[in-house]
Amino acid sequence: MYKVSLKENRESEVEFKDNNILLNGSDFHWNISKTSKGKFQIIKDGQTFNAEVIDFDKETKAVEIKINNQIYSVSVKDKMDQLLKKMGINSLNSSVLKEIKAPMPGLIHDILVEVGKEVKKGDQLMILEAMKMENVLKSPGTGVIQSIEVEKGNSVEKNQILIKF
């Protein structure tokens, strides 16, 4: 069973059973057909809806869908997500950052952040030169930089702490 949320306050249960879709325990009948890449036509209760997938984040299981020119944010929680929530672990992906370690030995080519800066997931932190290649180290989550443990030009070993949050 999946829990599907349209915004945080509207949650529904979706279950696939014997080639049927159950929405909150009741049969859900619809016809959906793909019209082009990311675009669909949905027929439900005699009404036709045009839908387009605007954005899809596989990691957070969040989808932004435009239906008849109105945008909806939808999140899907599978059994594992529901179990983690029940145990009080809402998301492994949003865990608090503590530190960034060097993924391999190399030379710090550039530091792109400073102490006190708030970073978001995917922000570039520093450039590590290893095996004659420049590797951009990105933030795996959100946090505020407490200290930078290396300087530009330093050699680092694998798993050496580079940044503390």
pTM above 0.85, yes or no: no
3-state secondary structure of 77: strand
Question: Domains plus CATH for the chain?
Answer: 2-86 (2.40.128), 99-164 (2.40.50.100)
How does pLDDT run across 41-100, given as a tens digit for each residue?
A: 999 999 999 999 998 887 778 888 999 988 888 888 887 777 767 766 554 444 567 888
Residue 8 has pLDDT above 60, yes or no: no
How does pLDDT run across 109-143, given as a tens digit for each residue?
A: 999 999 999 988 889 999 999 888 898 999 888 88
Comparing 157 with 98, the larger pLDDT belongs to: 157
pLDDT at residue 24, as a whole number: 85
pLDDT at residue 96, as a whole number: 61
Total length of the chain:
165
E-assigned strands of the chain? 2-6, 10-17, 20-23, 26-27, 31-36, 39-44, 47-57, 62-67, 70-77, 99-101, 106-111, 118-119, 124-130, 133-138, 143-144, 147-148, 155-156, 161-164
E-assigned strands of 69-160? 70-77, 99-101, 106-111, 118-119, 124-130, 133-138, 143-144, 147-148, 155-156
Comparing 6 with 121, the larger pLDDT belongs to: 121
Residue 7: left if φ>0, alpha if ψ -120 to 50, beta else—which one?
left
pLDDT at residue 9, as a whole number: 62
pLDDT at residue 87, as a whole number: 65
